[in-house]
């Protein structure tokens, strides 16, 4: 493993300080998409950027913003390279990023067991601790869904329901709290 130089560490911090264009409450570092910075010849830099998903429409805006910040810091040539492996997961969101999502009114992704792929289940849409009688009757026999419910970022209730698997961006779902009745986005686990 190659150790980053002091300049590379400084430029990584600068590139990571760029706000996410879709969630400006988070920086790219907090989102976990800026992977590495490589300096070539003192004034040329290559930045490795991993999108949250392959078709992410914000990747171009992120790249332009990173280029602008690093050029303002004296880098003559800036190349932002899209790196798809290892793939980004919601585990890459920092603790600070999760806290900011919550404060912004978006339920952060639940922590998952990182030992394998993300399981997909098609079951009930409510996430209360005690499912309704209908949910119990229609629940799959073996559920691999995360044990933690999606909590309302407004009141903290675990009694929420899924309204749409997609929200303002493909990486978020639209949910509603059954306690305070407020709708909210949930950053889906990937």
pLDDT in tens, 58-77: 999 999 999 999 999 999 99
Say what the pTM is: 0.74
- Choose among 38, 93, 98, 102: nearest CA to 70: 38
Residue 81 contacts residue 67 (beta carbons within 8 Å)? no
Mean pLDDT computed over 186-190: 87
Indicate if the pLDDT at residue 98 is higher than 80.
yes
How would residue 95 be classed by pLDDT, with cut points 50, 70 and 90?
very high
Residue 101 contacts residue 71 (beta carbons within 8 Å)? no
Indicate if the pLDDT at residue 110 is higher than 90.
no
Q: Which helix (H) or strand (E) holds 81?
A: strand 77-82
What are residue 106's phi and psi, to 5 degrees? -115, 125
How would residue 112 be classed by pLDDT, with cut points 50, 70 and 90?
confident
Q: Are strands 106-107 and 183-187 parallel, antiparallel or unpaired?
A: parallel
* Nearest-angstrom CA–CA distance, 128 and 29: 32
């Amino acid at each position: 493993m190659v150790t980053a130089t002091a300049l590379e560490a400084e430029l990584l911090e600068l590139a990571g300080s760029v706000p996410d264009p879709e969630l400006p409450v988070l920086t790219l570092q907090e989102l976990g998409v800026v992977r590495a910075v490589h300096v070539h010849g003192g004034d040329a830099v290559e930045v490795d950027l991993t999108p949250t998903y392959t078709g992410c429409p914000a990747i171009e805006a992120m790249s332009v913003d990173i280029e602008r910040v690093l050029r303002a810091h004296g880098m003559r040539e800036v190349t932002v390279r899209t790196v798809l492996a290892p793939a980004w997961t919601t585990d890459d969101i920092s603790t600070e990023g999760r806290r900011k999502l919550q404060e912004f009114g978006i339920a952060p992704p639940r922590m998952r067991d990182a030992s394998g792929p993300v399981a997909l289940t098609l079951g009930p849409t409510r996430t209360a601790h005690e499912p309704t009688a209908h949910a119990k009757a229609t629940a799959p026999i073996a559920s691999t869904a995360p044990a933690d419910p999606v909590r309302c970022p407004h009141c903290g209730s675990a009694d929420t329901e899924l309204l749409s698997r997609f929200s303002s961006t493909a990486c978020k779902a639209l949910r509603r709290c059954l306690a305070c009745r407020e709708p909210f986005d949930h950053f889906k686990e990937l």
